Amino acid sequence: MNRSGNAVVAVVGLGYVGVPTAMSLVAAGHRVIGFDVAVERLTNIAEANIDLPPADLTRLRTDLASGLLELTVDANRISKADTVIVCVPTPVDESQAPELTALHSACNTVVAQARSGQSIILTSTTYVGCTRELLVGPLTDRGFVVGQDVFVAFSPERIDPGVSGHSPTATPRVIGGVTPSCTHHAAETLAATAAELHEVSSPEVAEMTKLLENTFRAVNIAFANEFAEVAESMGLPITEIIDAAATKPYGFMRFTPGPGVGGHCIPCDPHYLLWQLRRTRGSAPITEAAMAGIVQRPSAIVSKIRARLADAGRPMAGSRVHIVGVAYKSGVADVRESPALEIITDLTRAGAMVTYSDAFVPAITIDGKRVPTSSSEAAESADLILVHTLHPGETEWWTSGHDTGRPQVLDMTFRSEPRLIPDMH
């Protein structure tokens, strides 16, 4: 088997994680077979019509033109790879239970195409034990001896979309193989795609590591949101408080409050842990409380909007609300799990007339209806402006009218937060 720099690697799932993974493998000298079941997605990738920074789009075009990155819907091509990396999304459904359809399908396909000598690396965030359940068991049923005939490991992705200067290749990577030889084979493939490799004793340890990373973020974001509410109730500016606390060089890590969390990780991953605990009658009260706070955050913001309008003598019905930024985070065109979607839905159902502006998201459809966009000039006639997401370089045009009484501004990024004067009496 070829494990040199020109090994063939199949990437199964070419979404927000799969494409950067494929590109990092090409940069490391591998030939990559990119497999996805969605023809439209492959067409968009082939045309470089996807959400990537301009420099990465240029690299993508180069990779495709060189033939080092192949795009296919033919599952049989997976059997030609020395290593297979599974990168499919693992969202949750409306009841916050894991939606495993894509993961099951991908693993079934990979197992069906597996051949002797092949390495299989699962990178999708999932519950503890999933690697053994969806890969090791079925491979064993096919007659393979894992650790001798095929090599299986879990190595969670660490990609931070929209963050300038972030590179997956500059980030350490965790790898947990079923056997030491499985870890070794996975490390050979991934060595050139990460700043360093941290090997752990099992797939389960690696799976739980990823859940800890994102649950840690979820809990702290929920706490930051809660602390912001407490500070506001005391007439204190949370941004100034966080800035002051961040001067402590130890024992404190900055987490900034906001409109909520979105994307494919933080709103979803902790629910995989909670779902698994419920199946075993376990519990994680702190995590449960944090996730409840995250789920409730959009409706809490709608309540703030209602209260602000009421203070101005306006009912929600008929009021004009403009939302600045609907992407789930700054610098991306991704609206998956964005709090803005639920906020818009609730405002519209309450009778508000909602518009939005977002240079990264030119169009969104909610409940089958396209949400109207509005220019900053037109938005200045709104009754309230909700600042949801600020993209890099965006001018805070709404601050000029902050003290005029109209429009009111509710800045949930807290960047234009007024310096409040405390009144504790």
Is the distance from CB of 417 to CB of 238 less than 8 angstroms? yes
Strand order in the sheet with 83-86: 69-72, 31-35, 8-12, 83-86, 119-122, 151-154, 173-177, 197-200
And the tokens for 153? 């490991």
Please tell me the total number of residues recorded for the chain in this structure: 425
Q: Which of 107, 130, 265, 268 is catalytic?
A: 265
3-state secondary structure of 385: strand
d(CA 334, CA 325) in angstroms, rounded, equals 11
Is the distance from CB of 183 to CB of 199 less than 8 angstroms? yes
Is the distance from CB of 75 to CB of 112 less than 8 angstroms? yes
Q: Is 265 part of the annotated catalytic residue set?
A: yes
Write the DSSP string, 110-176. HHHH--TT-EEEE-S---TTHHIIIIIHHHHHTT--BTTTBEEEE------TT-TT--GGGS-EEEE
d(CA 287, CA 216) in angstroms, rounded, equals 9
Residue type at position 288? E
Supply the residues annotated as catalytic: 265
